[in-house]
Amino acid sequence: MINNRPLTQIAFIKFGTERWMQMMAANLKNDTYLIDYYYCDADNHNGSSDRDRMKYMLDHKVNLIKFKVESIANNHTRDWINTDFWDVFDENKYDLIQTAKAGPAEYPFYKINKPIIEHITLEGAIDRLCQN
């Protein structure tokens, strides 16, 4: 608590890995925020860099919560198929949700009723028009 106010609780949710989101979660002040970071092994690999990132977040008091997704539907909202996300996630615990996505409605975010901070992240390449 700060000045008799409870800490702000934030859920970071991402299918796959987002290094910048992990760094953001790890660097929010622990005396102001309680951070839960929901993640899955989207690429089904556990290289040392993934372990190092997880250790980095744990060292910064981020609570890691793993969920499973078997596959992603080929539909407009990219629904997660055979996921246990709803078994581990309770939106009532949080003041807001942080994620990265590509803009339009995406699963599971269109089903969550809490404020969602969306960073629009589109895959891209080098912008060659801006080069000298």
Give pLDDT tens digits for 13-72.
988 767 888 999 999 998 899 999 999 876 554 444 678 888 999 999 999 999 999 999
% of the chain exceeding 90 in pLDDT: 51
Whole-number Cα distances in Å, 114 to 4, 26, 76:
23, 22, 22
CATH number of 8-130: 3.40.50
Query: What residue segments make up the domains of the chain, in order of their start?
Result: 8-130
**% of the chain beyond a pLDDT of 70:** 80
Give the global pTM. Answer: 0.81
